[in-house]
Amino acid sequence: MRRKTVLVTGGAGFIGGHLVERLLQNYRVVVLDNLSTGKMTNLPDHPHLDFIFGDVSQEADILTIFENYQFSYVYHLAAVASVAASIEEPLVTHQTNMDGTIHILNAAKEQASTLQKFVFASSAAVYGSEPTLPKHETSAIAPITPYGIDKYAAESYVLAYSRLFGLKSSAARFFNVYGPRQNPQSPYSGVLSILTDCINRKIMGNEASFQLYGDGSQVRDFVYVEDIVAGLILLAESEESQAEVFNIASGERHSLLEVIAMYELIAGEKLSLTQREERAGDIHQSYADITKIEKIGYRTSHTLKMGLRKYHEYSSKAYV
Ligand code: NAD
Ligand code: UD2
User: For residue 120, what is the domain's CATH number?
Assistant: 3.40.50.720
d(CA 29, CA 13) in angstroms, rounded, equals 15
Partners of 191 in the β-ladder: none
Name the residue among 124, 127, 122, 157 with its Cα closest to residue 140. Answer: 127
d(CA 125, CA 271) in angstroms, rounded, equals 29
Residue range 281-296: mean pLDDT, rounded: 95
Percent of the chain with pLDDT over 90: 92
145-175 as b/e: b if 16+ CB within 10 A: bbbbbbbbbbbebbbebbeeeebbbbbbbbb
Examine the domain organization and report whether 155 and 11 are in the same domain: yes
DSSP-assigned letter for residue 286:
-
If one counts the domains in the chain, the total is: 2
Cβ neighbours of 74 (radius 10 Å): 26
Rg (CA), the chain: 19
State the distance from the centre of ligand 1 to the C-alpha of 207, rounded, in angstroms.
31
- Predicted confidence (pLDDT) at residue 240 exceeds the cutoff of 70: yes
> 319 or 25: which carries more pLDDT confidence?
25
288 and 251 in contact (C-beta within 8 Å)?
yes
pLDDT band at residue 299 under the 50/70/90 scheme: very high
- Predicted confidence (pLDDT) at residue 207 exceeds the cutoff of 90: no
Q: Determine whether 157 is an active site residue.
A: no
User: For residue 200, what is the domain's CATH number?
Assistant: 3.90.25.10
Pick from 59, 123, 149 the residue to mutate for probing ligand 1's pocket: most ligand atoms within 8 Å of its CB.
Answer: 123
Residue range 277-301: mean pLDDT, rounded: 94
**What are the CB-based long-range contacts (under 8 Å, 24+) for 253-256?**
253/134, 253/219, 253/220, 253/221, 253/285, 253/287, 254/219, 254/220, 254/222, 254/304, 255/216, 255/217, 255/218, 255/219, 256/191, 256/212, 256/214, 256/216, 256/217, 256/218, 256/219, 256/220
Examine the domain organization and report whether 203 and 68 are in the same domain: no
The per-residue pLDDT of the chain, averaged, comes to 96
DSSP secondary structure of 166-193:
---EEEEEE-EEE-TT----STTS-HHH
Per the structure, the complete domain to which residue 81 belongs is given by 5-176+223-248
Is the link from the previous residue into 134 a cis peptide, with omega within 30 of 0? Answer: yes
State the distance from the centre of ligand 1 to the C-alpha of 38, rounded, in angstroms.
8
pLDDT band at residue 96 under the 50/70/90 scheme: very high
Examine the domain organization and report whether 279 and 229 are in the same domain: no
Examine the domain organization and report whether 77 and 216 are in the same domain: no
Name the residue among 75, 112, 143, 119 with its Cα closest to residue 245. Answer: 119
- Nearest-CA residue for ligand 1 atom 19 is 55
d(CA 82, CA 86) in angstroms, rounded, equals 6
pLDDT band at residue 159 under the 50/70/90 scheme: very high
Examine the domain organization and report whether 207 and 140 are in the same domain: no
Examine the domain organization and report whether 78 and 184 are in the same domain: no
Residue range 9-29: mean pLDDT, rounded: 98
Pocket residues for ligand 2 (CB within 6 Å)? 83, 123-125, 176, 188, 190-191, 194, 211-213, 218, 220, 256, 279, 282-283, 286
H or E stretch at 154: helix 146-165
Q: What is the pLDDT of residues 248-258, one digit of tens each?
A: 999 999 999 99
Percent of the chain with pLDDT over 70: 99
Q: Is the dihedral of CA 133, 134, 139, 144 positive or negative?
A: positive
Examine the domain organization and report whether 26 and 166 are in the same domain: yes
Examine the domain organization and report whether 139 and 24 are in the same domain: yes
Examine the domain organization and report whether 105 and 241 are in the same domain: yes
Measure CA 14 to chain center: 8
User: Of 232, 248, 264, which residue sits at a domain end?
Assistant: 248
Residue range 277-284: mean pLDDT, rounded: 88
Q: What is the pLDDT of residues 113-155, one digit of tens each?
A: 999 999 999 999 999 989 999 999 999 999 999 999 999 999 9
H or E stretch at 107: helix 100-109
Per-residue model confidence (pLDDT) at position 282: 87
pLDDT band at residue 318 under the 50/70/90 scheme: confident
Per-residue model confidence (pLDDT) at position 296: 98
Examine the domain organization and report whether 62 and 121 are in the same domain: yes
Q: What is the pLDDT of residues 161-204, one digit of tens each?
A: 999 999 999 999 999 999 999 999 888 899 999 999 999 999 98
pLDDT band at residue 319 under the 50/70/90 scheme: low
Per-residue model confidence (pLDDT) at position 186: 84
- Predicted confidence (pLDDT) at residue 7 exceeds the cutoff of 70: yes
Residue range 54-62: mean pLDDT, rounded: 96
Examine the domain organization and report whether 129 and 234 are in the same domain: yes
Atom of ligand 1 nearest to the CA of 177: 40
Our separate counts of H helices and E strands in the chain read: 11, 13
